[in-house]
Amino acid sequence: MYSSTKPFYIKLLDQTVCIQRNEHGIPTITAEDLESLYFGVGYAQAVDRLVQMVLVRAIARGEASEKFDGSDELIAIDKFMRWLHLADGLSAEVEKLTPRAKNILDAYCEGINTVMAKRRRPFELRLVGHQPEDWKPEDCLITAKIMGYIGLAEAQGQMEKFLIQLIQHGVSAERIKALFPYLKEDIDMELIKQIHLESKVVPDNIWAKVLPNLRASNNWVVNGQRTQSGHPILASDPHLEVNRLPPIWYEMVWKIKNESAMGITMPGLPIIVMGRNDHIAWGGTYAFMDMIDYFIEDCQDEKFLYDGQWKPFQKRIETIHPKKREPIELTFYENHHGVLEGTPTTPGKYLTMAFSGRSGAGSEIFNNLLDFTELKSVKITQEKFRDVPMPSMNWLLCDTAGNIGYQMNGRMPKRPPQISGLLPIPGWDSKNDWQGFENPADLPQVYNPATNFFATANHDLNEFGKVKPINLPMAPYRYGRIVEMLETNSSVDVDYTKRMHYDLYSKQAEKLLPLMIPLLPDTENGRILKGWDCIYSPDSKGAMLFESVYANLLKIVFGKNAIGEDVIDYLSHESILFYEFYGNFDQVLLDEKSPWFAPYNQETLFKEAITRGLDVTAKPFAETRRYDMLNIFLGGKFPGFFGFDMKGLSMSGSRATIPQGQVYRSAGRITSFAPSYRMIVEIEKSGMWSNLVGGPSGSRFSRWYKSDLKNWMTGKYKKLE
Of residues 206 and 160, the one with the higher pLDDT is 160
- pLDDT for position 668: 62
Residue 312's beta-bridge partner residues? 303
For residue 258, is pLDDT > 60? yes
| Angstrom distance (rounded) from CA 133 to CA 497 | 44
What is the fold, at CATH topology level, of the domain defined by 507-623? 1.10.1400
Residue 239's beta-bridge partner residues? 216, 675
Strands (E), 199-248: 214-222, 233-240, 244-245
- pLDDT for position 662: 85
Contacts of 105 (CB under 8 A, 6+ apart): 38, 97, 137, 140, 270, 366, 370
How does pLDDT run across 550-583, given as a tens digit for each residue? 999 999 999 988 888 888 877 776 677 777 889 9
pLDDT band, residue 44 (cuts 50/70/90):
very high
Contacts of 265 (CB under 8 A, 6+ apart): 41, 45, 249, 250, 251, 252, 271, 272, 273
What whole-number percentage of the chain has pLDDT above 70?
A: 95
What whole-number percentage of the chain has pLDDT above 90?
A: 79
| Angstrom distance (rounded) from CA 702 to CA 565 | 47
- Rounded to whole angstroms, what are the CA distances from 269 to 1, 2, 142? 20, 20, 10
User: What pTM did the predictor assign?
Assistant: 0.95
For residue 459, is pLDDT > 60? yes
HSE value, Cβ hemisphere, 13 Å, CA-based, for 653: 22
Widest Cα–Cα separation across the chain: 79
What's the rounded mean pLDDT across residues 418-434?
95
Where are the chain's structural domains? Answer: 507-623
For residue 110, is pLDDT > 80? yes
- pLDDT for position 634: 84
Of residues 378 and 257, the one with the higher pLDDT is 378
Pairing relation of β-strands 677-682 and 233-240? Answer: antiparallel
For residues 125 and 132, is the Cβ–Cβ distance under 8 A? yes
- pLDDT for position 565: 85
In terms of Cα–Cα distance, which of 186, 170, 385 is closest to 284?
A: 385
| Angstrom distance (rounded) from CA 339 to CA 543 | 45
| Angstrom distance (rounded) from CA 8 to CA 216 | 37
For residue 111, is pLDDT > 80? yes
